[in-house]
Chains A and B, each alone.
Chain A
């Protein structure tokens, strides 16, 4: 079997193997180490010797043996503490009925919830999710985040120790607890996607694509939960990622959406994302990911800036602001208002934002002002605003773009 095929198989099996081990033996942190070692053994052996008849069973057997070895070594070194799984009251978690065989889907989902537990710092949630659920090696995760491998190892170890010490049961939460935990998972996946989306050509991940990994995990979550916000997140990722081929200029400069060559957008991905959000929206009160996905879908299906359904986008931003009043959303809303009611209306909103400390000095507010002043035909104030935005930006590529726009105005 080709190396790439083995790698994909191992990544898909990783959370199932870890889930089986933790369910059977507990010791989340040691089980995770044991699973990593089994995956490494398989990655070395299978391309040469061929696949075993039951790859998952092979991995579970090898990992179990390794876990036993590791636990024996730990026990010899220090007094073993028993972490009682029943710390959470019984009505806060539910275990499947005793006669039902454990479901692989449940295990992967439980694992995802564990790795994204709100008590972990975001960096730990992200690192652990990518390794334990994504099946990436520590080196791959380290390279993805441009940190030394030793740093990433420490981050993952600390996260695993927190989970071990928290006494969290290996089971699904119920009710409001589950909703909050699902929110945490969605947020982690969104952070992973954004990390991948923000990187330029010069920071491309070696072999593994962070954006693709976020999408893969979002698909898994969507399949396992059938939750509308999970569908919304997946849709948002697909719709955003679809624009990638048009996003970068020759010097690595980001091309704003209004100037992108839309023929380079990935039509299939836009169609898939649009279908997902269209199916999710009617299912009840829309959450923020669904609303953002709906906005992205409206952009995705517009053949040009002028042909975009701006009034609908304004309405959606207003729904979003009611859900999460966020200064960046306010900026985008102002620009959308400008596209429906004229630049002056948008400028009024942007000027009002000068009173919001979170965004008053943000280069993006100045850039949006500059853009709208340009649309209003005020060349000199627009030029000054572009220069003011460039002065506030720390991003060289962004500054090049802003200076170039200023230069165009004389």
Chain B
């Protein structure tokens, strides 16, 4: 069974990672290196156990485009999110024994130093049959 683990961030979170001066405390090179090392090791374990299907990070919300139709023609808005809005920052798609195992994996993505941080994990539909019945 497949599960999607979703990580979130705000533009402000990305700014801290990008070294942009702000009211929030900056991250040191060592902290950033530790974060990368942790992510690498979690994904490596999942690859070795065969549970990793895919994992990607997304660029900052400011680079997003929102596409609507107006009178049948596409209209594009650049950077549709507010600075403090939580948006999808990345995902890891796993295939594992069950929801409890997926939850156990998801817990490893939550930063213990960041108070209030969370990730979401959702079961993925097994195929068109689950939609159409």
Is the beta-carbon distance between B29 and A399 smaller than 8 angstroms? no
Give chain A nearest CB distance to B58 CB in angstroms.
10
Complex Cα distance, B47 from A266, in Å, reads 32
Interface residues on A, range: 20 to 34
The answer to whether A252 touches B32 (Cβ under 8 A) is: yes
Q: Is A251 an interface residue (CB 8 A)?
A: yes
Which of A147, A249, A403, A407 is B29 in contact with, Cβ under 8 Å? A249
In chain B between 43 and 73, which residues have their CB closer than 8 angstroms to a CB of chain A?
Answer: 44, 47, 53-55, 59-60, 63
Known: A390-B20, A396-B17, A403-B21. Is A143-B30 also a contact (CB below 8 A)? no
Interface residue ranges of A377-410 to B (CB < 8 Å): 390, 394, 396, 399-404, 407
**A65 CB–B CB distance under 8 Å:** no
- B33 adjacent to A394 (CB under 8 Å): no
Which of A148, A206, A251 is B32 in contact with, Cβ under 8 Å? A251
| Given the contacts A249-B29, A250-B29, A390-B20, A202 and B36 also touching, CB distance less than 8 Å | yes
B80 within 8 A of A: no
A window 143-190: CB within 8 A of B: 143, 146-148
Shortest CB distance B103–A (Å): 22
B19 in contact (CB, < 8 A):
yes
Residues in B whose Cβ lies below 8 Å from that of A148 = 53-54, 93
Interface residue? B82 (CB, 8 A): no
Within 8 A of B (CB), among A232-256: 249-253
Q: Is B125 an interface residue (CB 8 A)?
A: no
Asked if A285 is at the interface of the complex by the 8 Å CB criterion, the answer is no
Given A394-B63, A399-B20: A252 in contact with B33 (beta carbons within 8 A): yes
B14 interface contact, C-beta 8 A: yes
* Known contacts A396-B18, A399-B18; A252/B63 CB under 8 A: no
Q: Is A201's beta carbon under 8 Å from chain B?
A: yes
Decide: B19 and A400 in contact? CB cutoff 8 A: yes
**Across-interface contacts of B55 in A (CB, < 8 A):** 146
Is the CB–CB distance between A202 and B18 below 8 Å? no
Which of chain A's residues have a CB closer than 8 A to the CB of B17?
A: 396, 400
- Tell yes or no: B107 within 8 A of A by CB: no
A252, B36: Cβ atoms closer than 8 Å: yes
Contact B36 A201 (CB under 8 A): yes
Q: Does B40 contact A (CB under 8 A)?
A: yes
**CB–CB A206/B21 < 8 A:** no
Give A248 to B55 CA distance when docked, in angstroms: 23
Task: Choose from B18, B63, B93 the contact partner of A400 (Cβ within 8 Å).
Answer: B18
Indicate if B39 sits at the interface (CB-CB under 8 A): yes
A302 CA to B39 CA in the complex, in Å? Answer: 38
List chain B residues, Cβ under 8 A from A401: 19
Give Cα A403 to B15, complex, Å. Answer: 10
A396 with B14, Cβ < 8 A, contacts A252-B36, A403-B21 known: yes
Nearest CB to that of A203 among chain B residues?
B40
Q: Is the CB of A403 within 8 A of B54?
A: no
Q: Find B60's partner among A206, A252, A394, A402 (CB 8 Å cutoff).
A: A394
Please report the C-alpha to C-alpha distance between residue A251 and residue B18 in the assembled complex, in whole angstroms. 12
Residues of B within 8 A of A252 (CB): 32-33, 36
Top 3 closest A-B pairs, CB basis? A251-B29, A399-B18, A403-B19
Please name 8 further chain A to chain B contacts, defined as beta carbons within 8 Å, in addition to the given A396-B14, A399-B20, sorted by A numbering.
A148-B54, A202-B39, A249-B29, A251-B32, A251-B36, A400-B19, A402-B19, A407-B19
Q: 22 A-B contacts, Cβ less than 8 Å apart?
A: A143-B47, A146-B55, A148-B54, A200-B36, A202-B36, A202-B39, A204-B40, A249-B29, A250-B29, A251-B29, A252-B33, A252-B36, A390-B18, A390-B20, A394-B60, A394-B63, A399-B19, A399-B20, A402-B19, A403-B20, A403-B21, A404-B19
